[in-house]
Amino acid sequence: MTTQLVTNKGKEKCDPSFAKEVMDKSHAHLERCYQCVACSSGCPSAYQMDYPPHQLLRMVQLGLKDRVLNSNTFWICLSCETCATRCPNNVEIVLVMDQLREMALKENRKDSTHLPLFHNTFLSMVKFGGKTYELGLIMFYMVKSGDLFKIKELPSLIKLGINMFTRGKLAILPPHIKGQANIKRIFELSEKTG
Ligand code: SF4
Ligand code: SF4
């Protein structure tokens, strides 16, 4: 049942089933979090997030679904696991971040950045090539986001591309790996099980 909660943002919709859904689907033990802030203190991306990881977890616990799914926190998360390593209660924070991304995509939540687009483009590359293909990723992302047509930024991007290529960081051809079909199958299974 949805209720209302008075927060520092005024009255907000509070849906307790949201916390349960996140926990059930992510298999993370959110109930163990006692807000010690160790995760956020070590997070290298917290300074760019709307809400640092510990706050986001608290908002999930409280069922503040709209605020959580409209935040940029889980898009900014690098999945570096620093938070999980520091957590005294072994809360699987990265699993929560993954789950929130999936939920936000399913609900078509709008993000002010192009991060969901980057996320989807990256996953498509891995699905079809078995691993990431940087040149394809950059080109697809830039065309879809419209960044390719920002003429002012083009010279610096070309320079960056040349630097990466000369250092062997940018392959011209897409990768070909053994077991590519297995990777595709993993994606298909995960799409089926939601
Ligand atoms: S996994 Fe995400 S939330 Fe955790 S420390 Fe890394 S960037 Fe921060
Ligand atoms: S480190 Fe663990 S217990 Fe502490 S706030 Fe973060 S998730 Fe919660």
**DSSP 3-state of 98:** helix
- Provide the 8-state DSSP code for 175: P
* Token representation of residue 165: 């290529």
Specify the range with the lowest mean pLDDT, choosing from 7-16, 156-165, 179-188.
Answer: 7-16
Q: How many domains does the chain have?
A: 2
How far is the CA of 147 from the CAs of 134, 140, 154, in angstroms?
16, 10, 9
Q: Are residues 98 and 128 in the same domain?
A: no
Q: Are residues 99 and 182 in the same domain?
A: no
Last residue of a domain, one of 42, 72, 106: 106
Range of the domain at 165: 115-193
Q: Which ligand is nearest to the CA of 87?
A: 2
| 9-12 long-range Cβ contacts below 8 angstroms, 24+ apart | 9/67, 12/64, 12/66, 12/67
CATH number at residue 31: 1.10.1060.10
Q: Are residues 44 and 123 in the same domain?
A: no
Specify the range with the lowest mean pLDDT, choosing from 21-25, 51-55, 113-117, 134-138.
Answer: 113-117
Q: Ligand 1 pocket test: which of 97, 98, 99, 119 has the largest number of ligand atoms within 8 Å of its C-beta? A: 97
* Token representation of residue 169: 């960081």
Q: Are residues 32 and 100 in the same domain?
A: yes
| Residue identifier of the C-alpha nearest atom 2 of ligand 1 | 77
- pLDDT, average across residues 125-150: 82
Q: Is the CB of 38 under 6 A from ligand 2?
A: yes
pTM: 0.77
Contact 127, 183 (CB under 8 A): yes
